[in-house]
Structure 1
């Protein structure tokens, strides 16, 4: 007879208040019907996840995404003969409202609710697992985690058919230049989208829309690019790559290497050797 077991490991984000990740492995546990106050994004990793929600019975094989809106009642248990393994991310509504509104191009879309509970979508699955890794391994900074939330929100709005691509502004905006200056002054700090939008005196929704229109990239991409550029100057001055990496918020040297190489085509050490006598 197979050994029966249940294991539940919770990880709280160091950067985004109340964002929590669950890693679960179980063979003999069944959830009672319940609902969460947050959005819940899950990926089935092994076995089969069976649950009842929204008047329907669902079966989620490995690779499938499960999404519960706030207050959506559901239960859950392993299906078939194999043990169930899955991850679930719990995200308070407040952290997604501006991201949904930005993706839809409508401030009222902040109250977005997904009409799908069981989803097959490689792009969304990759984002959920990326955020899981950032939280469980304590990697990256706040804006790295917010960027993945933005990817998740954008993909859900795209699937709903409400996505509105962003065009470009024809002139600079003084408020966005204020946001840019704030970023440049805080490259070594763990800044958030709230911090930057407040510095620009804009709501997070309007800030996200206008920033991409003005600069052509997301705030996360802009911050990362500026950090890499600042790191490059320190490398040229002879600073050790590992010291530079930690100074600008990179989790470790390998993370710094990957990001640097995507912009300059070589590792920080290779770059340093090429520009110093």
Structure 2
């Protein structure tokens, strides 16, 4: 039987950092991972099964899926039918000002939705409208920006909150040090001892706390961050071999396998898609 899974990334030609994924999945499963962007998705057909926020979810056609930056999740088709869905990815810096405007605040950074699986026709329609005009490269920059604003506006209306840095717990603050260290050293080899020392925690306490808090191990998080950084480098024009070497993968084959577990396509396929 032919492979029914298809994945296509389409980068907006007008709105920086905005990318659409149209996926049809039959025999593929994502590893647990997290994106640095906001992700707004709609299940079009089939059933979308995924883990996020300590819970297992099942999304039926018409449902909206919303991931905040760094929300750990996986994903796979559920049931007997091919899963068909759309997902919008947009960097926080692209929408922070929009969140601030909708909420009447001066600063929009830190917005997080408390809802992951949403049933709302207006939000679904706004996401589908934006995905369509990006996919078909319709309209001007202001048209796409206005469509993105509608997505943000409805997301805020449904539910959302700003993170309060002053309310960060001590464990979160310590783990935040570890994450900052990881991001600052993605291009060199890192040991668990170094990362745990950056968090001012013993290695084994750090391991338990990190996995308990984020749902993945520090090693998985390091690989995830390197793949996300590699995706940005590919989008900027770097070759697969350059990126593999830069971010510490053994070779292009190793990099390909790791990249595909998170983005469902090879680095070369991704680079080709977004270059269109």
TM-score for both structures, normalised by structure 1 = 0.56
User: Equivalent residues in 2 for 1:70-149 (5 A)?
Assistant: 70-149=69-148
Give 1:5 shift. Answer: 2.2
Asked whether the equivalents of residues 12 and 18 of structure 2 are also in contact (C-alpha less than 8 Å), the reply is: yes
- Name the residue aligned to 1:170: none
User: Equivalent residues in 2 for 1:30-41 (5 A)?
Assistant: 30-41=29-40
Q: Deviations over 1:105-126 (max 9, x none)?
A: 1123432111100001110110
Asked whether the equivalents of residues 20 and 87 of structure 2 are also in contact (C-alpha less than 8 Å), the reply is: yes
In the alignment, the residues of structure 2 paired with residue 12 and residue 124 of structure 1 have an alpha-carbon distance, to the nearest angstrom, of: 21
User: Equivalent residues in 2 for 1:115-194 (5 A)?
Assistant: 115-160=114-159
In the alignment, the residues of structure 2 paired with residue 133 and residue 145 of structure 1 have an alpha-carbon distance, to the nearest angstrom, of: 10
* Structure 1 runs, 4 residues or longer, greater than 6 Å off: none
Give 1:3 shift. Answer: 4.5
Q: Deviations over 1:102-158 (max 9, x none)?
A: 111112343211110000111011010001011110100111111011111111111
Asked whether the equivalents of residues 99 and 110 of structure 1 are also in contact (C-alpha less than 8 Å), the reply is: no
Q: Deviations over 1:181-208 (max 9, x none)?
A: xxxxxxxxxxxxxxxxxxxxxxxxxxxx
Q: Tell me the secondary structure at the aligned position of residue 107 of structure 1.
A: coil
The alignment status of 1:12 with 2:7, answered yes or no, reads no
Aligned length: 161
- Name the residue aligned to 1:216: none
Give 1:161 shift. Answer: 7.1
Asked whether the equivalents of residues 37 and 71 of structure 1 are also in contact (C-alpha less than 8 Å), the reply is: yes
TM-score for both structures, normalised by structure 2 = 0.57
- Name the residue aligned to 1:45: 44
The alignment status of 1:28 with 2:27, answered yes or no, reads yes
Q: Tell me the secondary structure at the aligned position of residue 122 of structure 2.
A: helix
The structure with more radius of gyration: 1
* Consecutive unaligned residues in structure 2, runs of 5 or more: 162-276
* Consecutive unaligned residues in structure 1, runs of 5 or more: 163-277
- Name the residue aligned to 2:61: 62
